[in-house]
Structure 1
Amino acid sequence: FESRGLAYDAEHQRLIWTDNLPLGSPLPGGVVRSGSLAGGDVLDLVTRLTNPAGVGYDARNQHLIWTDLGAVEVPSAIFAANLDGSDPRERIRDQYLSEITDIAFDASRRQLYFTYVNPLIDSIYTGAIACADLKDLSNVETVVSGLARPRGLVVDPQTEQLYWADAGLSEQVSDGAIMAQSVDDACQSSGLQRTVIGGLDEPYGIALDPLAQDIYWTDEATGKIQRTNVSGVLPFFEDVRTGLSKPRAIMIVPEPSSYVLLVSSIVVLSAARRRSTAAAFD
């Protein structure tokens, strides 16, 4: 299976992730699954999906929300269902929304953000980020545009910053980057983006440790988990894990433990939180 999305149900201490049959397998073969954080007890929540990618869990409404990349004759869309997988419904779809890859929640503002590509734009920079009301996934609005290939994204609730991974225009050139913009600027479509770190190969998933103010990301091309500080000005760029096969989604489970969770057959890395910019990763 190929996994692209990962979420966490803190109340029940369960991981939630998307799985797809390998390329070339008959469709639909996608599924949203959950399993115990301790391992095992795997449940298929939603099955017979076309090409599921990003996934999230809205604890307030107890809703699963996931993206589907679609296929040749199946448009990309965002779906929602109850936590047990019942009542799955398509919630967001439009002709200008293609390759909807990942989602992130802004719990304080009750907003959903998602990355996508707009095939109707006459430009090489067709990537964008949109937001919608988390309650019912209405009022879809593009808030960041002019991107290359946006993948994973995350919201920092403390600083109200939006961070995302952009894989760049070419797989042959290291033009990927981790980007940032304040939520207020994004909502006003001000375009005040900043590059946290550039020169990356194929960054995909992204996670934030809000206490240490560290950003983690996966790189499909290099098979690495890497990290840096959110300031983007400190002289460090660290490999956390290497030798992985096309790592994608990544997340950090909140206190009391600090785990980095990677979707690539679900690899779990236990980590001591960085206490200073010079502290080492255990």
Structure 2
Amino acid sequence: MNLSFSDIQDRPVAILGGGVLGRRIACMWAAGGWNVNIRDPSAEQRTAALHYVENNINEYPNITGIKKRAGTVQAFEKLEDAVRNAWTVIEAVPEKLQLKINTFAELEETTRLDCLLCSNSSSYKSSEMLEKVKPETCRRIFNTHYMMPPQSRVVELMTDGQTYPEIFPFYVERLKEVGFLPIVARKESTGFVFNRLWAAIKRECLTILSEGVSSPEELDAVWVEMYSGNKMGPCEMMDAVGLDTVAFIEEHYIQERGISGVSTVDYLKRDFLNKGKLGAKTSEGGLYPPGRTTKTPSEAQGDHNNLHAPTLYVLDLGLNSPQDPIHSGRILVGSGAGGALRTIVSNQSLPDGIDVSIKSGRIYWTNMGIPNANDGEILSCKLDGSDIRTVIPKGSVHTPKQLTLDPAGTKLYFCDREGLRVMRCNLDGSEHETLVQNGDWHNLTATQDQSKWCVGITVSQNEKKFYWTQKGTSKGGIGRIFRANIDMPVSKDASTRDDIEMVLDHLPEPIDLEVDPDTDTLYWTDRGDPPFGNTLNKIELAKLRQPISASNKPKPQILARNLHEAIGLKLDHKNKHIYITDLAGMVYRINTDGTDKKKVYDTEFIFSGINLSYV
């Protein structure tokens, strides 16, 4: 097979699968100068993959040392559109042998005859995937097993037993040009090179745990101490990869080599997988509690840390701008693991509340505008900051504050501070309606009554209710939290509805809030005076459903103190973390039980709202 760079230089690299690994492989090739096509049947995965590349591609050259003009990255639903004219296709589809067999049969029909077809499988040899392809196609199929770029840039190449030998030096050079560190296995082997060694380590670790000889913490501590170049122990690494994946790979070894799975696969299924504990990718955790593998900048990090850290979207009010502080607000994108903050939207008029829908591929936010000018608005944009659209125009909402999507992702709920209102609308702004009206905002006396100002908003789908804060005067100790039914009572309107309940009062100055449906708990930030203000708080909703009297008032729990004018709050359900912003330019991460408060960002900005997604 005659191969030359001139034959491929204008052709794309195609990646099948836009998941955690697929999008990182795509980003690496694109950062190295190649145009890349991602194919994934899921629209949400395609959006998330492109958003990951957009957020991270500029960081890859800092890690690889390869400084090239980045290529483009596109995402496709149909396989034939993604692989058309590709010079190489890398399948990163789920580890199901029949799926891979069918994939290569489809690639035989849809790719050019000189296209190099690669499997990223870490457990199956590519020779096991040739059942439906012709002999001549087998000659251009082989394994390229990627670890976890960009932190781990090793790629293991291996023949399917029939691969043209001259392919390997050619492909090795292309990988090196991009910044990968390729090695070529001398012969076919289940598990390649590293994974065979790693499989033995995992197997013995699981045996140690299943026999009760040690704990994950002790085992990992010994590993890190003995092998100090690694920042993660084997148990943390297994959690990061996914215990279901660990079990699947081990099953393949068991079948091929006839070894026992009692202390490995059986142990994992019994104690973890059957209980939904798949590792860091699930809110149930795995060998460790959820969130263990997500690290902040102050913590030591290994190659597999932060694979499941969320992407953060933070609003900067822009008030520290010397030119135009009223119109210098921004949307910044960063990570729950820290790192660079990137501006995707600028020149906003005091942005305050934000939410993100990966499903619709859009960000939604409020601009307060000038508080006495009735010029607030709600806008949306694509995840990369483009295509800014007006959802609620100026004049239709006075001073919009916090904003949230309902759990179904079909409605926007938001508070209007000087408008004395709680409102909602469809994602395109249609069916804009007022749910709560605390007075006539045209009346100056009414609009200056801060006890009627609505600020934070959240929706409890389990209860079919929404909650909101009325903060009261600054540091005044007259803040309150209310709730009402999602459905308006019959024959009532926003001013006359009789289902409004005050659930908490005499709070310092409550701002943003959110309900955790899994634990039936309400969380909120409070920017009032210490010791009860500048705090993160929670209360179990069950306490708010009981009859409340003067002698039987439910007492909130303070989870964290010493914030600096706390504003935004967002729950990270997967990792069991809470992210908080404050006006001092900090982003904090705290466990949902209030422990392990850490600083993710420390800036000179003035932060208001925060939200997150998993991409």
SS at match of 1:55: strand
Deviation track 1:43-95 (CA, whole Å, cap 9, x = no partner) reads: 21101112111011122211111000112668110011111000112221243
Q: Which residue of 2 aligns with 1:261?
A: 579
**Which residue identity does 2:526 align to in structure 1?**
D
Out of 356, 359, 380, the residue aligned to residue 80 of structure 1 is 380
Distance 2:337 2:388 in 1: 27
Would you say 1:36 and 2:335 are equivalent positions?
yes
Assess if the C-alpha contact under 8 Å between 1:14 and 1:34 holds in 2: yes
Q: Who wins on radius of gyration, i.e. which is larger?
A: 2
**Which residue identity does 1:152 align to in structure 2?**
G
Assess if the C-alpha contact under 8 Å between 1:174 and 1:201 holds in 2: yes
Distance 2:498 2:380 in 1: 30
Matched residues, number: 257
Q: Which residue of 1 aligns with 2:207?
A: none
Per-residue deviation, 1:237: 1.6
**Which residue identity does 1:271 align to in structure 2?**
T
Q: Which residue of 1 aligns with 2:426?
A: 133
Per-residue deviation, 1:245: 0.7
Distance 1:228 1:15 in 2: 25
Would you say 1:69 and 2:368 are equivalent positions?
yes
> Which is bigger in relative contact order (C-alpha 8 A, separation at least 6)?
1
**Compared CA separation, residues 196 and 281, structure 1 to 2 (3 A):** farther
SS at match of 2:352: strand
**Which residue identity does 1:75 align to in structure 2?**
D
User: What value does the CA root-mean-square deviation take over the aligned residues?
Assistant: 2.6
Q: Which residue of 2 aligns with 1:21?
A: 318
**Compared CA separation, residues 237 and 77, structure 1 to 2 (3 A):** same
Distance 1:165 1:26 in 2: 33
Q: Which residue of 2 aligns with 1:245?
A: 564
**Compared CA separation, residues 38 and 281, structure 1 to 2 (3 A):** closer
Q: Which residue of 2 aligns with 1:277?
A: none
Assess if the C-alpha contact under 8 Å between 1:32 and 1:44 holds in 2: yes
SS at match of 1:195: strand
Distance 1:281 1:177 in 2: 26
Structure 2 regions of 5+ residues with no counterpart? 1-44, 53-309, 440-451, 547-552, 597-615
Assess if the C-alpha contact under 8 Å between 1:213 and 1:230 holds in 2: yes
Per-residue deviation, 1:259: 0.6
Assess if the C-alpha contact under 8 Å between 2:374 and 2:398 holds in 1: no
Distance 1:49 1:25 in 2: 15
Distance 1:251 1:75 in 2: 27
Q: Of Structure 1 and Structure 2, which has the larger fraction of its residues in helix?
A: 2
Per-residue deviation, 1:108: 2.4
Q: TM-score, normalised by structure 1?
A: 0.82
Distance 2:407 2:560 in 1: 30
Matches for 1:161-240 after TM superposition, within 5 Å: 161-168=465-472, 170-171=473-474, 173-185=476-488, 189=493, 190-221=497-528, 222-231=533-542, 232=544, 233=546, 235-240=554-559
**Which residue identity does 1:227 align to in structure 2?**
K
Would you say 1:115 and 2:442 are equivalent positions?
no
Distance 1:98 1:23 in 2: 23
Deviation track 1:124-178 (CA, whole Å, cap 9, x = no partner) reads: xx511111112x121211011117111111112222220111112x336422111
**Which residue identity does 1:59 align to in structure 2?**
I
Deviation track 1:177-219 (CA, whole Å, cap 9, x = no partner) reads: 1111121137964341112211112111112221211111111
Would you say 1:151 and 2:455 are equivalent positions?
yes
Structure 1 regions of 5+ residues with no counterpart? 1-8, 119-125, 273-279
Assess if the C-alpha contact under 8 Å between 1:152 and 1:249 holds in 2: no
**Which residue identity does 1:245 align to in structure 2?**
H
Would you say 1:59 and 2:366 are equivalent positions?
no
Assess if the C-alpha contact under 8 Å between 1:185 and 1:191 holds in 2: no
Runs of 4+ with deviation above 4 angstroms: 9-12
**Compared CA separation, residues 94 and 19, structure 1 to 2 (3 A):** closer
| Further displaced range: 78-87 or 220-229 | 220-229
Q: Which residue of 2 aligns with 1:142?
A: 434
**Compared CA separation, residues 74 and 24, structure 1 to 2 (3 A):** farther
